Amino acid sequence: MTVRTRPRDGMPGPEIDAVLLRFTRAEDIAPLLQEFLDAAIALARTDLGTMQRFDDADDCLRIVASRGFSDDTLGYFGIVRRDTNTTCAVALTRRMHVFVEDIATSYLFINTPELKIMRGLGIVAVQSLPLISESGRFWGVVTTHFRESRSESDAEHTRLSELALQVANGLEHHAHSRTAEKPDGVGSVPARSET
């Protein structure tokens, strides 16, 4: 069982810019997504989080980066569909920021297997932000989890939303640069989100 538990300190603006620049040159962006997840976790002042990419073909979210979760937990939540009782499924469906201050009292989790699993992990609150680029494309969701009840902070929300936008723009730029490099000019870029 692998559990990564120590996020890096929050990334300052210039360091985020450097990671964004590396998006265009990287063949494997998984380490960069982990860096962005770590920045989101630091901004949220927690130690648990996931980043999921949208799989357009299967209409689901797939975890591509995580911090603080066991392989068993990642296996259960590895693929999230629209009908899953999670904040990331709501962010996928509604394309909006979702914040639950206490999962035990939220309509989303009451009497669900997801509540039992999350409570077993010590999670009390959770938030999910959609990764939507400036062009309107939906690329995925970043979620941070808390071990205590939390109230949403406007300042924290603004910083996380800015980071989510930067990640989405980076993913879009990476997808376009990979498509442009294909010799036959054929490539796949996810369809524009209807919001």
Position 115 confidence tier, pLDDT thresholds 50, 70, 90:
very high
User: Hey, what long-range contacts does 98-106 have (CB within 8 A, 24 or more apart)?
Assistant: 98/127, 98/128, 99/125, 99/126, 99/127, 99/152, 99/157, 100/125, 100/126, 100/127, 101/125, 101/149, 101/150, 101/151, 101/152, 102/149
Determine if the pTM surpasses 0.85: no
Q: What is the pLDDT of residue 90?
A: 97
pLDDT in tens, 138-150: 999 999 999 998 8
Position 28 confidence tier, pLDDT thresholds 50, 70, 90:
confident
- Per-residue pLDDT averaged across 182-189, rounded? 46
pLDDT at 70 over 90: yes
Contact (Cβ atoms closer than 8 angstroms) between residue 51 and residue 142? yes
CA 56 to chain CA centroid, Å, is 16
Domains and CATH numbers, the chain: 13-180 (3.30.450.40)
Q: What is the pLDDT of residue 34?
A: 93
pLDDT in tens, 124-140: 999 999 999 999 999 99
Contact (Cβ atoms closer than 8 angstroms) between residue 80 and residue 13? no
